[in-house]
Amino acid sequence: MKAPLEKAPRRLLPGLLLLLAGCGGNTMIYQQAELDSFLQQQQGRALSFQTRAGNQTAFYVPPKADPSAAQSSGADPSPAGPSAPSAPLVICYPGISSRALDWLWLPERSPEPRAGFLLIEYPGRGLCKGRMRPKYLPESSDGALAALAAQLGVERAALEKDTRFIGHSFGTAAALQFACRLETPPRAIVLVAPLTTLHKALFRKFGPLAWLNPDRMDNRAYLTQLHGAPEPPAVAIFHGDADNALPVKMGRQLAALFPEWIRYREIPGVDHVGILRTCGDEIIQALFSERPKETERTTENTEATEKK
């Protein structure tokens, strides 16, 4: 009879550590005014689905492009209507202390009028129920994509033809984790203030307790897998050298894995959150870059990747 009780704290530990790593509390939920603004001003959509964690909700911002303009210009309009992301679909993963709708600046500033934006929320945040377990996070992306395909009336495979992933902080691991599961890799992945491994990131906050977390997320392994794909995505890393949450050496170490493939940008004097404001335009530009040819794979900051 004691075994289940002895195992219970270990089962709860991953969610507890991640909750404490983030802010928790009221900062992780939405006020009704925020949701109303998203639905009305952004013409956004809430996507509901189920995972083992319970009822989940992600968000979708449709493309800015007007299909009527495409018709008048002689171009073929999207068969799925004005809200279908003909190409590309940007999938956004927030940091542990952020929410899906904190990414709204991205579609607002996007220069690509055809792009739709799928904003992923984690269990226990926003409108999502349950506790977050890193190893089950792909279920949130799977469910969101399936819900979006159903709402737009298209096959899921059509949505995956041209995807672009972006993640910040913990979201870099969530993004790469799911990217490795797709049959067709994303065309571009942007990692902002990334971690190397979940355990090393948690160790900075909890010390040796981090090693009790049974769930593993390893961005080094994910990048290695993606690098071996027939058509690897374009990858860009942005990291500030004043980052006190996830030190810049983590970004350097990831970039050094494949310096001929990964574009690395190190920004002096910028911290963990400020990098999103400071490098917003560059981040967006990298997001809509294409897969580089083998001869074009170069790093912008070789000296920085050599620092350990």
Where are the chain's structural domains?
A: 44-68+80-305
Among the listed residues 123, 119, 62, 122, the one whose alpha carbon sits nearest the alpha carbon of residue 92: 119
CATH code of domain 44-68+80-305:
3.40.50.1820
The arithmetic mean of pLDDT across residues 295-300, rounded, is 40
* CB neighbour class for 184 (10 Å; exposed up to 12, middle 13-18, buried from 19): middle
Nearest to 174 by CA among 209, 158, 157, 198: 198
249-261 residue pLDDT tens: 999 999 999 999 9
Share of the chain above pLDDT 90, in %: 75
Bridge partners of 306, per DSSP, are none
199-219 per-position pLDDT tens digit? 999 999 999 999 999 999 999
Beta bridge pairs of residue 168? 192
Mean pLDDT value across residues 156-184: 97
Query: Would you give the distance in Å from CA 268 to the centre of its chain?
Result: 24
Q: What global pTM score does this model have?
A: 0.84
Amino acid in position 133:
R
- The residue among 173 and 6 whose pLDDT is bigger is 173
Cα(114)–Cα(84) distance, rounded to whole angstroms?
A: 9
- Bridge-based pairing of strands 234-240 and 188-192 is parallel
Please determine, for residue 292, whether its predicted confidence score (pLDDT) is greater than 90. Answer: no
Residue with the bigger pLDDT between 189 and 22: it is 189
Query: What pLDDT does 291 receive?
Result: 62
Say whether pLDDT at 77 is over 80.
no
**Residue 20 in this model has a pLDDT that exceeds 70:** no
AA letter at 257: L
Q: Which residue has the higher pLDDT, 245 or 66?
A: 245
Q: Which of 12-16, 35-39, 221-225, 298-302 has the lowest mean pLDDT?
A: 298-302
The pLDDT score that the predictor gives to residue 67 is: 47
Mean pLDDT, rounded, of the chain: 85
pLDDT at 62: 95
